[in-house]
């Protein structure tokens, strides 16, 4: 029987917007609502002034019908656009806020790093906050002492460990908070955008540490916009869109879906598809079954042009699963004036060896057309997949786009005088 560290069933979170009155989840919110209520009762109005209209509240579901299971020792990446509900989900799993509906079952102690300020007391020193966090997790003092030096060394704030954390910069705060969350012994670690603050060196340390945590068999939920890190660390993914699950499964498929979503969002909302211009039969001409990084690519397609344009701009794009354009080649009718005449045209696009890292890329054609009316028209082909395999170990290039086959030349210039090296 599969052991699950996290099981979410029909999770939903509702907020009331457009009104000051909503359900309070914390003591601070309860006190704030009470103060606002008293203030509104005794608020002074100018003589003759009347209240116009009334407060209007509207339900907003930040999450709706969220169901998934995370096996013990699994690393799950949660991705999505800003406002899709990622942070709300982690706050529910961390027991910071309750769900409006559904149930989340957590098996094991949970360590979380959700946002700067969560879990630390500003008036306490770094040392005191380390022991406070460990105590909240149910750890004994001897357990915290055993990991104290390691936590401080990882964070790099040794000089300020006895300074109240309210005096820390945001970077120092994050370094210590991540060090505490990663080193105190918990079965489950929830991390939200830990890579959004801090220098490049510390971000690399965080990724390496989370890789180590995963190898130890601990469960990790990792929320980030850094899709390269998500791809490297996670085996499964969850894509949220407008508070609902868009796709849940293999991390490569989830990232590819997110990349397509990002690109589709950037399209012109008034673009046409297959009206006056249509791209047909876009395909890759294969000279072998497997495309490896050293394979030159040849694309073929047909284009029907049904009316006269004074200018056409044709683009070929190749995107990574993360939505990054690695190729954007184009030409227009200034180079091919015959395209101004309606008809059916056949295209072949030959690209040199690109040395793309092994993964599944997507490609399509975009046409920007300028008619005499002056209103620009845009047309898009369907997506085609480009699976690149072999040539290099996949796990060694997860954070790279290109993997050229370089040649190194090494020449010995002579022997060193051993006496001078002593």
Q: What is the DSSP string of 188-239?
A: EEEEESGGGSS-HHHHHHHHHHHHHHHHTT-EEEEE-S-HHHHHHH-SEEEE
Q: In the structure, what pLDDT confidence band is assigned to residue 112 with cuts at 50, 70 and 90?
A: confident
CB contact burial 221-256 (16+ within 10 A = b; e otherwise):
bbbbbbbbbbbbbbebbbbbbebbbbbbeebebbbb
pTM as predicted: 0.68
Q: Residue 356: pLDDT above 80?
A: yes
4-20+59-262: CATH, from 3.40.50.300, 2.170.130.10, 3.30.365.10, 3.90.550.10 = 3.40.50.300
CATH no., domain 269-396: 2.70.50.60
Residue appearing with tokens 């890759």: 284
In 285-411, DSSP assigns E strands to: 297-305, 311-319, 325-332, 343-351, 359-370, 377-380, 384-388
Instruction: Tell me what the mean pLDDT of segment 327-336 comes to.
Output: 82
Report, in this order, helix, strand and coil percent for the chain, each rounded to 5: 30, 30, 40
When the pLDDT of each residue in the chain is averaged and rounded to a whole number, the result is 81
* For the chain, percent of residues with pLDDT exceeding 70: 81
CA-based end-to-end distance of the chain:
64
Structure token digits, residue 363: 């490609």
Least confident of 74-83, 161-170, 262-271: 262-271
Q: Mean pLDDT: which of 74-78, 93-97, 397-401 is highest?
A: 74-78
Instruction: Give domain limits for the chain.
Output: 4-20+59-262, 269-396
Q: In the structure, what pLDDT confidence band is assigned to residue 346 with cuts at 50, 70 and 90?
A: very high
Other Cβ atoms closer than 10 A to 267:
11
How far, CA to CA in Å, does 303 sit from each of 276, 278, 314, 330, 379? 10, 6, 10, 15, 11
Q: Residue 64: pLDDT above 90?
A: yes
Among candidates 114, 109, 113, 106, which has minimal Cα distance to 70?
A: 106
CA distance 245 to 65: 8
Instruction: Tell me what the mean pLDDT of segment 62-72 comes to.
Output: 93
Higher-confidence position of 105 and 136: 105
Instruction: Tell me what the mean pLDDT of segment 169-193 comes to.
Output: 83
Higher-confidence position of 331 and 47: 331
């Amino acid at each position: 029987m599969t052991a699950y560290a996290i099981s979410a069933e029909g999770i939903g979170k509702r907020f009331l917007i457009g009104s000051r009155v909503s359900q309070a989840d914390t003591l601070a919110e309860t006190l704030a609502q009470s103060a606002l209520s008293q203030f509104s009762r005794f608020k002074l109005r100018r003589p003759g002034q009347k209240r116009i209209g009334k407060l209007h509240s509207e339900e907003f579901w930040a999450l709706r019908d969220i169901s998934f299971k995370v096996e013990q020792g699994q690393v799950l990446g949660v991705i999505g656009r800003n406002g899709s509900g990622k942070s709300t989900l982690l706050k529910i799993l961390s027991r910071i806020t309750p769900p409006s509906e559904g149930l989340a079952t957590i098996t094991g102690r949970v360590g979380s790093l959700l946002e700067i300020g969560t879990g630390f007391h500003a008036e306490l020193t770094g040392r005191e906050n380390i022991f406070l966090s460990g105590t909240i997790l149910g750890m004994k003092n001897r357990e915290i002492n055993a990991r104290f030096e390691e936590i401080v060394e990882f964070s790099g704030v040794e000089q300020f460990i006895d300074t109240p954390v309210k005096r820390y910069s945001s970077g120092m705060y994050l370094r210590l908070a991540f060090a505490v969350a990663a080193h105190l012994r918990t079965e489950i670690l929830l991390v939200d955008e830990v890579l959004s603050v801090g220098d490049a060196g510390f971000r690399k340390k965080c990724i390496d540490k989370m890789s180590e945590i995963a190898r130890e068999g601990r469960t990790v939920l990792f929320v980030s916009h850094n899709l390269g890190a998500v791809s490297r660390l996670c085996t499964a993914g969850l894509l949220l869109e407008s508070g609902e699950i868009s796709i849940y499964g293999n991390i490569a498929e989830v990232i590819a879906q997110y990349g397509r979503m990002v690109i589709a969002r950037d399209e012109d909302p008034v673009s046409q598809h297959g009206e006056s211009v249509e791209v047909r039969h876009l395909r890759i001409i294969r000279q072998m079954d497997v495309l490896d990084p050293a394979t030159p690519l040849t694309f073929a397609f047909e284009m029907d042009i049904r009316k006269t344009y004074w200018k056409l701009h044709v683009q070929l794009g190749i995107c990574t699963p993360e939505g990054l354009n690695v190729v954007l080649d184009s030409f227009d009718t200034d180079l091919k004036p015959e395209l101004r005449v309606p008809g059916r045209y056949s295209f072949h696009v030959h690209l040199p060896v690109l040395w793309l890292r092994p993964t599944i890329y997507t490609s399509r054609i975009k046409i920007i057309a300028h008619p005499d009316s002056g209103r620009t028209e845009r047309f898009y082909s369907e997506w085609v997949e480009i699976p690149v395999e072999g040539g290099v170990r996949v796990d060694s290039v997860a954070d790279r786009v290109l993997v050229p086959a370089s040649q190194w030349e090494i020449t010995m210039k002579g022997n060193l005088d051993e006496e001078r090296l002593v």
